[in-house]
Structure formats: C-alpha cells, structure tokens
C-alpha cells in the first residue's frame, strides 16, 4: 500500500502542468523509492501496527497510521535533503505520498478489520478462552471482554477455588483447544499462579493476569518497571506527554486561525451589544480548569447587566439570581440542567447569540491564553463538580474545552448525567483523531443552530 501510495503520488504530480525538477520515468522512480520505503515498514512496526493480537479502536488506529506516516515522510525528506541525487523529482510527491498512504493503509486495514469481524461470527479466527476468578468479578469481566473484543470466545468461566490440577486443566483444554487463559488475580495464591503459568508454558497457551482491585480492569493501564519490579500503572488519560504537547500546538493553530476569521463578526457583535444594552461587552465567569484552578471564562454578555451573576457583578450566584424571579420551575430547571431554556435574564441580543453559540467566540482568547483547549470537557463551576462523583478527580486532570463531545451529541437535548458520561469518555479515550472528528462535527452543529440556548 505504501508503494502504491507513492506510485499514485508520482502519477498525480507528473500530470500537472508544472514541470518536474528532473525528468524520470515511473519505473525508475519506483526502483529508487522502494528500498527506501523499508524505513516505513520499520516505523509502522515500532508504532505497533503489525501486532497480531492488537485490539484497538478504529480511531486510535487511524491516529497511529497518521503519526507513523507523517514520521516516515519526515525521514524520507531528511534523507532526500542530504543525497547528491535526490529521491523525489518534485517536493509535492512526499506530501501526496503521505495523503495517499494514510488513505490506502487505513482503508485496507478497515477492510481487513471488517472481514475479520465477519469471520468471528462463524468462530473463524477466534481465541478459545478460559476465565479463572472469584465471585462476581469473573462474571463481570466476561461481559466486558465480550463487549470489548469479539476475538475472545469464552469457552469456560471457572471459579479459581476449583481444582486447578493439570488433569482438570487438561480436560478443559482437550474439550475446547484453549488459546488464552485470563486469571483475575484478586486473592489468588502465588502457588496457584505459578502452577498455572507452568501449565500455560507447557501447552503454548497465552496467560493474561487481570488486576481486579475496585474494577481496575475497566481502566486503561500500562506496564512499567522500578528497576526489577514490574508495576501496573493506571493511565488516567492518553492525553499525556507528547500527546499533551501535540494538543497544545493544535490548540494554538486552530484558535489563531479561528480568531482571524471571526474577528470581523466579533467586532460587529460588540458594537450591537453596546448599542442595544448599556454595560460591558464581555462577561467574565469563574470556571474550573486543570488541577482545580480557576479561570475567567470570556463570553459576549447575553444578560442584562443587573442580572449578571458573580462577585464582580451582582455578588449573587446564578441560583440566587434566578430565585429573585419567584418562579420555582425556573430554579428546578437550573438545578437539574445547569441551564435555563427560556432565560428571563437575557438582553435583546442574548437569545440569538446563545442559540448560535456566537457568545462563546471570545473564548478563543482563553484558548490562546492556555486557559482552555479547543476540544475538551465542558467548563464547569465549583458547585457542579460534585455531580461528577468519584470521577471528579479525572475531570480535573485536563483542561476544559471550547467544544466537546456533548456539544456535538445533542447539546442541550441530552440530560446532565449523559453530559458527564460523555466528558469522562472523552478524557479516558482522547486521541488527535477524536479531536478532529469533534471539530468537524461542531461546524454543522453551529451552522444549523442545533439545540442551542
């Protein structure tokens, strides 16, 4: 696929009116490029794209293909720069090659993935699996495993209290031809683990040891070492290390470009607010950010000045302000959703600005200031944090965002608990591919004014 991608890149560039830097035939180009493309195969291998037992989400895999392909192109460009006889007769060819490679590799992998899952329905290629554990943990794990990967067919689900003698295991193996054994290690003796490990080594069965402390198997983990001590680390979010740096670079680029485009509209809105309602153009509200810090979230002011909540305005909280309208239904709606559909506090421009989300455009400045990310969980106030329950620490692990999963999944049509679940899902499953998908889905959500108020 990589060779085909660069062959297509050469054909596309050759058909353009602009002449190549030097004339060469397609066959000669391929003779030069094919040996160099071995580097890409190594890069893909290091990226884990050739692992036979890989069970990744499609979005995660696409992000790995994009990153590995981008790194491959960068290496080829560096090699081309130092060679006396250049590899590429045009600077556009590696760019086209990258785009074609991402498309062709991703498409072919998707087709293989679809075929593989189709064959799983007929038990072709599945791993016959034995689960060993105690109590309800093994039943719960079997359900999670079936949901996460159809590649594992649970043949038996046995209590670890049973006789785990070689004869007992041989009986199950003879009946089902086991490929994998999952051992839920909570309370299992070292002697049992050693016995099971020896049996698996002898019979070429893959042994997986699953931590079960507080349902830990449902959390992403990675293996690390402290000298010779193996350690399982619970990964709060993939958004760490280089991922955090890459996301920040993307935030700056997107916020800067968006601000340039939106500046004329923002100027017009500012003038209209000034003409239709006395008071400041912007409204600053305190929200939580990473590690429990406070940020001043910028918005165009959509409320009459006397109804603005917060210390620097009326001194009242939003809930206290709504109580002054003597409308219990209004108060209950805010307690339930943290929003009010028919808000009596709005000024003349308020309803339009909120329904189109134009009131949030000044938050592009928050993104540039590193208060917000372009994509992330909803920015919330301190009082909302308790509604995240045990996941409140996870929410405070990253910065909130200008847009996010809940904004493109129904906005105000989904209840508050569903918004919380979407925020938690985003934090635990972040990827650049997910961010780009959310951004692309945000555009039609704004243009067609879906469910905004």
**Residue 375: its pLDDT value, please?**
93
Per-residue pLDDT at 235 exceeds 90: no
pLDDT at 364: 95
Mean pLDDT of the chain: 80
Radius of gyration of the chain (CA): 28
Please give the domain boundaries of the chain with CATH numbers for all domains.
2-120 (no CATH), 127-234 (3.40.50.720), 242-302+346-447 (no CATH)
pLDDT-based confidence at 55, cuts 50/70/90? low
Contact 299, 360 (CB under 8 A): yes
pLDDT tens, position by position, 342-393? 888 888 888 888 888 899 999 999 999 999 999 999 898 888 888 787 777 7
Number of Cβ atoms within 10 Å of the Cβ of 332: 11
- H/E element, 46: helix 38-46
For residues 187-206, give the mean pLDDT: 78
pLDDT tens-place string over residues 254-272: 999 999 999 999 999 999 9
Phi, psi of 348 (to 5 degrees): -60, -35
Q: What's residue 440's pLDDT?
A: 85
Q: Does the structure show a pLDDT above 60 at 398?
A: yes
CA–CA separation, 210 and 180 (whole Å) = 13
Question: Lowest-confidence range among 17-21, 37-41, 148-152, 376-380?
Answer: 17-21
Residue 209's pLDDT is 79
How do residues 422-448 score in pLDDT, each as one tens digit?
888 888 888 888 888 888 888 777 766
Mean pLDDT of 31-54: 73
Query: pLDDT: is 436 or 89 the higher one?
Result: 436
Per mean pLDDT, which range of 89-98, 101-110, 389-398 is the poorest? 389-398
Higher per-residue confidence, 278 vs 233: 278
- Would you say the C-alpha torsion 366, 371, 374, 375 has a positive or negative sign? negative
Q: What is the pTM of this model?
A: 0.55
Alpha carbons 146 and 403: distance in angstroms, whole number: 33
């Amino acid at each position: 696929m990589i060779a085909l991608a660069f062959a297509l890149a050469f054909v596309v560039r050759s058909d353009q009116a602009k002449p190549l830097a030097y004339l060469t035939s397609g066959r000669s180009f391929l003779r030069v490029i094919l040996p160099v493309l071995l580097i890409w195969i190594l890069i893909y291998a290091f990226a884990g794209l050739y692992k036979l037992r890989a069970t990744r989400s499609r979005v995660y895999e696409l992000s790995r293909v994009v990153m590995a392909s981008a790194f491959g192109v960068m290496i080829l460009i560096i090699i081309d720069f130092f060679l006396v006889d250049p590899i590429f007769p045009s600077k556009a060819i590696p760019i086209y090659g990258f785009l074609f490679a991402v498309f062709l590799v991703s498409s072919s992998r998707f087709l293989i993935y679809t075929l593989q899952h189709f064959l799983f329905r007929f038990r072709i290629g599945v791993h016959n699996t034995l689960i060993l554990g105690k109590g309800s943990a093994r039943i719960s794990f079997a359900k999670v495993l079936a949901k996460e990967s159809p590649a594992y067919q649970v043949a038996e689900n046995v209590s670890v209290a049973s006789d785990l003698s070689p004869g007992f295991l041989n009986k199950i193996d003879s009946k089902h031809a086991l490929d994998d054994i999952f051992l839920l290690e909570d309370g299992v003796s070292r002697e049992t683990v050693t016995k099971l490990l020896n049996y698996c080594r002898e019979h070429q069965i893959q042994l997986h040891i699953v931590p079960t402390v507080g349902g830990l198997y449902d959390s992403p983990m990675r293996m690390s070492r402290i000298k010779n001590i193996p350690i399982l680390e619970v990964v709060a979010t993939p958004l760490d290390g280089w991922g955090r740096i890459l996301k920040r670079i993307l935030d700056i680029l997107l916020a800067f470009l968006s601000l340039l485009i939106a500046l004329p509209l923002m100027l017009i809105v500012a003038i209209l607010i000034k003409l239709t309602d006395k008071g400041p153009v912007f409204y600053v509200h305190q929200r939580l950010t990473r590690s429990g810090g406070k940020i001043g979230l910028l918005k165009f002011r959509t409320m009459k000045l006397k109804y603005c909540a917060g210390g620097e305005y009326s001194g009242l909280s939003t809930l206290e302000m709504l109580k002054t309208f003597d409308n219990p239904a209004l108060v209950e709606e805010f307690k339930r959703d943290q929003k009010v559909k028919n808000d009596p506090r709005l000024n003349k421009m308020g309803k339009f600005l909120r329904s189109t989300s134009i009131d949030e455009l000044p938050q592009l400045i928050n993104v540039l200031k590193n208060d917000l990310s372009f994509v992330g969980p909803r920015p919330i106030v301190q009082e909302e944090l308790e509604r995240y329950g045990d996941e409140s620490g996870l929410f405070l692990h990253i910065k909130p965002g200008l847009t996010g999963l809940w904004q493109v999944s129904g906005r105000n049509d989904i209840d508050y608990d569903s918004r919380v679940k979407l925020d938690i899902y985003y934090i635990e499953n972040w990827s650049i591919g997910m961010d780009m998908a959310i951004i692309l889905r945000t555009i039609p959500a704004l243009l067609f004014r879906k469910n905004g108020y």
